[in-house]
Structure 1
């Protein structure tokens, strides 16, 4: 058997190639997982853009100098196991390379999850090293795997952004400005913020995506990027930047004289992210990168793990009920199977093209799992 992976140039994300290696024997305690399907969103492009700065390239080293494997979220099935606690056929949700299979070293097993104890991941954020066992996963439902792959990691970030803002009393502002308002992480955040009494949620988006954002019902108002003057310049506000556009950040910081806080989440404008962005010398507060694992660590310490999980699961189910409402779904999955289709889908997502209602589900595995 062999494993096929999509590798990208770390210094030029548009350059890709497929890399195939023969599968070697497992060591004691290891399992091989077939990666059945994974989501590809602008969030994954952010991982690549910050690959060096935030160690995302280290999760799945390629062994090829200058080339990286972008981490993605999705589902896999155990096809081989030399670990007594993990059975062949088990379904897992977690963090994968863009590949057809991967070898894990399960450790710290519970009924709900385990950790990959591979030595090269030991110093990386623990939240990315956990694999959830679908049979006991409180967020899992078999009929929503596509939606889970697409939205689960993004919504957890959205939920944590909302919690972080509330935890800081919204920095004394009542108006939240969200760029790239049509993106999944942005509208997940807006969904949470809309439930906060007295908070105005303003979406900033490109003109073609304005109607989509308005249709969601979680923004109090939606402005095109060239309509910042639709808000009074002295409005006390917080900027939550999902776009990563230096030019937009500069415009927002310049326009709003009472900007209380500027949060950088990631970015859909990868060409600016990869270059470090423009707008470094902007007026107002310094843009601060939001790092979700830090808020997870803080809240887990304050609330305890079980309570953290209970709150997050409740929020997730409420969000999914809204997103998948049959009469007006926010998202539909589009599948891309096979090497050529995966490469094409990656190029489209990297370029920021497509309908915001479409979510991309990819697979490099051949056929269905045989376990």
Structure 2
């Protein structure tokens, strides 16, 4: 075992700038009573993590794993093992899944302990969304399969957002729309939503009638070939988009120019416009006074809390689980897993994702920075 830990730090004011930082590896004697030390094994990295960096100040993503200014740690989803524990009910060797830094270790203070999970109750996380502070024990997670860890890391956080968007649209009767349009349609969250809409359409009286993908020209063949969408349109062919029927736009791209073009094309037939991601983070800007419905930001943790209160967390998770397995079977048939191991490879993987160089059919897994 190495004596140091490596972290990837990103300049919060210029996310193209990143650096690898070395620090002494923590040991049991560094823990306070009630604390646990997690050795991070591996984690997924997708365009969703770039969104965390892009919107870090707005939604508090930089606050989960603080670093000395101007640096921040981009949160990721992955697996870790308890390497030291001063908590009476959490044993060394316990494996967990949850929100992690791009680092080799994480010190947590478990609270709200159940048979299935605990919450990190560290002071600096107390004001942050509960959904990001919970860690699941793999031993008691009914959806966990060791051989599917890569897909769980890559898809589960994104598919929870897809699931909540699907639920939100269903609860609002798709805002009376006949077609739902997804930008950045090759992104994994958009693909998840498209699959859920298509998978459940028969049980929803054929609604929505049409699911439309907007994507870059280079991704048209890939997106169309999946069968999740009824129509696939390149960004430079918006004239093919039917503007004569009520429509909902779910924008995963964050491209202000594209958003304005779609709003202008659809006009008053755009009954709802939802801003979700920022895949095209460098082109994101606020658009005001657009034709059609005013764009509204969709914050998944907030909607999860709202629906958990209405339905109960167990019922909500059961609804998600009913869609999880069919979607992972579908995605597993076409996704290619790429692994980046070690600090330099992880740094390059971060930059490749930031610069849009990762193909949509590729899922990137990053192995621990020090182990």
CA contact (8 A) 1:100 1:363 kept: no
| 1:348 counterpart residue number | 352
CA contact (8 A) 1:158 1:189 kept: yes
- Pick aligned residue for 2:130 from 123, 126, 129: 126
RMSD, aligned α-carbons: 1.2
| 2:251 counterpart residue number | 241
| 1:260 counterpart residue number | 271
Provide, for residues 139-169 of structure 1, a one-character-per-residue CA deviation record: whole Å limited to 9, x for no partner.
Answer: 2111000011000100010010010011111
- Pick aligned residue for 2:79 from 65, 75, 84: 75
Q: Is 1:14 the counterpart of 2:16 in the alignment? A: yes
Provide, for residues 40-70 of structure 1, a one-character-per-residue CA deviation record: whole Å limited to 9, x for no partner.
Answer: 10100001111001110000001x1111100
Provide, for residues 11-67 of structure 1, a one-character-per-residue CA deviation record: whole Å limited to 9, x for no partner.
Answer: 1001001112224511111111111111110100001111001110000001x1111
Separation in structure 1 between the aligned mates of residue 197 and residue 171 of structure 2, nearest angstrom: 13
Separation in structure 1 between the aligned mates of residue 11 and residue 151 of structure 2, nearest angstrom: 29
For residue 16 of structure 2, give the secondary structure of its aligned residue in structure 1.
Answer: strand
Aligned counterparts, 1:60-209, within 5 A? 60-62=65-67, 64-194=68-198, 195-196=200-201, 197-199=206-208, 200-209=210-219
Offset of 1:299 from its aligned partner?
1.6
Separation in structure 2 between the aligned mates of residue 125 and residue 31 of structure 1, nearest angstrom: 21
| 1:215 counterpart residue number | 225
For residue 77 of structure 1, give the secondary structure of its aligned residue in structure 2.
Answer: strand
TM-score, normalised to structure 1, is 0.94
Offset of 1:198 from its aligned partner?
2.6
Provide, for residues 208-242 of structure 1, a one-character-per-residue CA deviation record: whole Å limited to 9, x for no partner.
Answer: 10111111111011000111111232221000001
Offset of 1:352 from its aligned partner?
1.0
Separation in structure 1 between the aligned mates of residue 288 and residue 71 of structure 2, nearest angstrom: 28
CA contact (8 A) 2:46 2:364 kept: yes
CA contact (8 A) 2:341 2:368 kept: yes
Provide, for residues 279-306 of structure 1, a one-character-per-residue CA deviation record: whole Å limited to 9, x for no partner.
Answer: 3442222211101112211221121122
| 2:331 counterpart residue number | 323
CA contact (8 A) 1:246 1:280 kept: no
Deviation beyond 6 Å, 4+ runs, structure 1: none
Separation in structure 2 between the aligned mates of residue 40 and residue 364 of structure 1, nearest angstrom: 12
- Pick aligned residue for 1:293 from 285, 297, 301: 301
Offset of 1:3 from its aligned partner?
2.2
Offset of 1:174 from its aligned partner?
1.5
For residue 114 of structure 1, give the secondary structure of its aligned residue in structure 2.
Answer: strand
Offset of 1:173 from its aligned partner?
0.5
CA contact (8 A) 2:185 2:213 kept: yes
TM-score, normalised to structure 2, is 0.94
Bigger shift: 250-259 or 190-199? 190-199
Provide, for residues 61-113 of structure 1, a one-character-per-residue CA deviation record: whole Å limited to 9, x for no partner.
Answer: 01x11111000001111111111111111111000011111101111111111
Provide, for residues 182-216 of structure 1, a one-character-per-residue CA deviation record: whole Å limited to 9, x for no partner.
Answer: 11000000001112223110000011101111111
Separation in structure 1 between the aligned mates of residue 313 and residue 34 of structure 2, nearest angstrom: 27
Separation in structure 2 between the aligned mates of residue 56 and residue 281 of structure 1, nearest angstrom: 29
For residue 59 of structure 2, give the secondary structure of its aligned residue in structure 1.
Answer: coil
For residue 240 of structure 1, give the secondary structure of its aligned residue in structure 2.
Answer: strand
CA contact (8 A) 1:5 1:364 kept: no
Structure 2 segments unaligned to the other structure (5+ residues): none
Offset of 1:365 from its aligned partner?
3.4
